[in-house]
Amino acid sequence: MNASAVMMLWGTSIGKKAVMAVTGFILVGFVIGHMLGNLKIYQGEEKFNAYAAWLREVGSPAFGHEQFLWLARLILLMATALHIVAAAQLTQMSYDARPVSYAQKKAIQATYASRTMRWGGVIITLFVVYHILHFTFGAVGFTPGQYKHLSVYRNVVIGFSVWYVAAFYIAAMVALGLHMYHGVWSMFQTLGLNTENAGRPYQALATVSSIVVVLGNISVPTAVLAGLLK
Amino acid sequence: MMKLTLRVWRQKNATAPGRFVTYEAKNVSQDMSFLEMLDVLNEELIGRGEEPIAFEHDCREGICGSCGFMIDGLAHGPKRATTVCQLHMRSFRDGDSLTIEPWRARAFPVVKDLIVDRSAFDRIIQAGGFISAPTGSAPDANAILIPKEHADLAFDGAACIGCGACVAACPNAAAMLFTAAKVSHLGLLPQGQPERDDRVRKMVTVMDGEMFGSCTNIGECEAVCPKEIRLYFIARMNHDLIKAGIKVRKMSQQAARI
């Protein structure tokens, strides 16, 4: 793989889709890791806060304080940017391809998830912005003085005790689950791995991974609202 | 005998604005094909001195790919694996009200009424849907050995009749299933190997240039394809294109050496 091959692929619709598949793979990997990290909250305040502190020391001593964290953030940011740019260009292409819409149009086998990828992507993007402002910066969703950097356990419990914030998180996770349900399978289809014999395992992988991520993530605000985490 | 109400898209020519006109189709036998039902209606229109409804058709046995329009939001109508000429009126009920409109895609401009110009498909084929082999008298059967699975799969792709239903049903108006079927049926056979990388690159480039949309793996194309061409063919084309993309530089280096 080299520069000219990448440019040739980026110049085609299929190449842009391949970029979406590869960046999607990176983002799904992050989402699964993030969900597993979230579950550490059930080990108690001390261990959960220690996990947050450890994230800043990953790769030590080869990496300095927060260096690996920032590397990961940079990669995620670039993957997100490429994913969104490719999606926007491909969407424009599709909108241009049908200037006159049908008076009547029925879907036969398209799933709800597959038909809501674009809006799902927009919702997830808005959620991520809110999520970072909320738990990373403490800039929204907290009264002044409530948010304490690295007191992640307290921050989560206080943050989710506001019911509409918790409800927004839960709704966003359902959107993420739908996006993953079609996206994970699409990854294999787009990269050409979905051959005549291989389709079913990929569909199963998409179903299982999206359900696990949604349930794992939703459990946290639900547990706070139910008073199980305090 | 059945009676139907048809809301049909009427458009004088490519530039004129179109509109829906409602017709009553009386004396419809359930053994008529959908096109025969329109033939009878057209006879009546001609008798009244009106312009008959223009629709494309040729073989009327489901193998030429000429016919096709939307019936109540479904390409080729409600019956699976069936072109509109092979769709019979027994698939409908007496008193049904149906909306009939042409394929909608920028790449398929309306010529008249229900007829669209599908020559964008021809240009995709011209870009690479062939093999550069000397033709002549038929070669000996089995002179080139082909594994049965490859032959079967290639034939599944070759079954494409180019009717355009995949584009019509796609929410993105993408031509991926058509192009994938054409790329794959040659790419699966030994005779198609020398031009395999070049073929997929050229055909996809022309496909994009013809202003078709971009695939979102939704599968509506597969659902309406009268020849039941599977979504797997699109994965196969994606694979071929990505592989061909990776080989670009290697080939230009080889060319420079020669």
Reported ipTM: 0.94
d(CA B165, CA B67): 10
Q: Which two tokens stand for residue A185?
A: 């399978």
Bridging pattern class, strands B19-28 and B115-116: unpaired
Contact yes or no for B99 and A104 at CB 8 A = yes
| A29 falls within a domain | yes
- Helix (H), strand (E) at residue B18: none
Contact yes or no for B217 and A114 at CB 8 A = yes
| For residue B221, pLDDT beyond 80 | yes
Q: Lowest mean pLDDT: which of A35-39, B59-63, B213-217, B244-248?
A: B244-248
Contact yes or no for A189 and B70 at CB 8 A = no
What structural domains does chain B harbor?
2-111 (3.10.20.30), 118-133+142-257 (1.10.1060.10)
pLDDT digits (tens, 9 = 90+) for A187-222: 999 999 988 777 678 999 999 999 999 999 999 999
Contact yes or no for A8 and B104 at CB 8 A = no
Sign, CA dihedral A70-A71-A72-A75, equals positive
| A107 falls within a domain | no
Sheet holding B74-75, edge to edge: B19-28, B2-10, B97-101, B70-71, B74-75
User: Residue A35 burial (CB < 10 Å; 0-12/13-18/19+)?
Assistant: buried
| For residue A66, pLDDT beyond 60 | yes
Which residues partner with B7 through β-bridges? B22, B99
Contact yes or no for A199 and B248 at CB 8 A = no
Looking at residue B257, its pLDDT comes to 62
| A1 falls within a domain | no
Look at the block and give the residue holding tokens 């674009």. Answer: A118
- Round the average pLDDT of chain A to a whole number and report it: 95
| A100 falls within a domain | no
Residue of chain B nearest A193, judged by CA positions: B235
| A103 falls within a domain | no
Task: Please check whether residue A177 is in contact with residue A210, taking contact to mean a CB–CB distance below 8 angstroms.
Answer: yes
Chain B residues with beta carbon closer than 8 angstroms to that of A113: none
Chain B residues with beta carbon closer than 8 angstroms to that of A185: 217
Q: How would DSSP label each residue in B147-209?
A: -HHHHHHHHHHHT-----HHHHH-TT---HHHHHHHHHHHHTSGGGSTTHHHHHHHHHHHHHH
d(CA B209, CA B203): 10
3-state SS of A53-94 is HHHCCCCCCCCCCCHHHHHHHHHHHHHHHHHHHHHHHHHHHH
Looking at residue B139, its pLDDT comes to 82
pLDDT digits (tens, 9 = 90+) for A128-186: 999 999 999 999 999 999 999 999 999 999 999 999 999 999 999 999 999 999 999 99
d(CA B153, CA B184): 9
**Domain hosting residue A19, numbered range:** 11-94+114-225
Contact yes or no for A14 and B101 at CB 8 A = no
Q: Lowest mean pLDDT: which of B32-36, B45-49, B132-136?
A: B132-136
Residue of chain B nearest A111, judged by CA positions: B218
d(CA A210, CA A183): 10
| A78 falls within a domain | yes
- Round the average pLDDT of chain B to a whole number and report it: 94
Contact yes or no for B173 and A101 at CB 8 A = no
**Which is higher by pLDDT, B13 or A200?**
B13
Looking at residue B252, its pLDDT comes to 60
**Which of A108, A112, A116, A181 should we substitute to test contact with B (largest number of B Cβ atoms within 10 Å)?**
A108
Task: Tell whether omega for the bond before A61 is within 30 degrees of 0, i.e. cis.
Answer: yes
> How many separate domains does chain A show?
1
| A25 falls within a domain | yes
Report which of B56, B43, B111 is spatially closest to residue B83, judged by C-alpha positions. Answer: B56
Chain B residues with beta carbon closer than 8 angstroms to that of A103: 7, 9, 20, 99, 101
For Cα atoms A36, A40, A45, give the angle at the middle one, nearest 5 degrees: 155
Looking at residue B258, its pLDDT comes to 56
Looking at residue A8, its pLDDT comes to 83
Residue of chain A nearest B107, judged by CA positions: A97
Chain A residues with beta carbon closer than 8 angstroms to that of B105: 97-98
Contact yes or no for B248 and A189 at CB 8 A = no
Task: Show contacts of B18-23: CB within 8 Å, 24+ apart.
Answer: B18/B110, B18/B113, B20/A103, B20/B99, B20/B101
| A109 falls within a domain | no
Contact yes or no for B238 and A117 at CB 8 A = no
Residue of chain A nearest B237, judged by CA positions: A192
CA distance A55 to chain B (A): 36
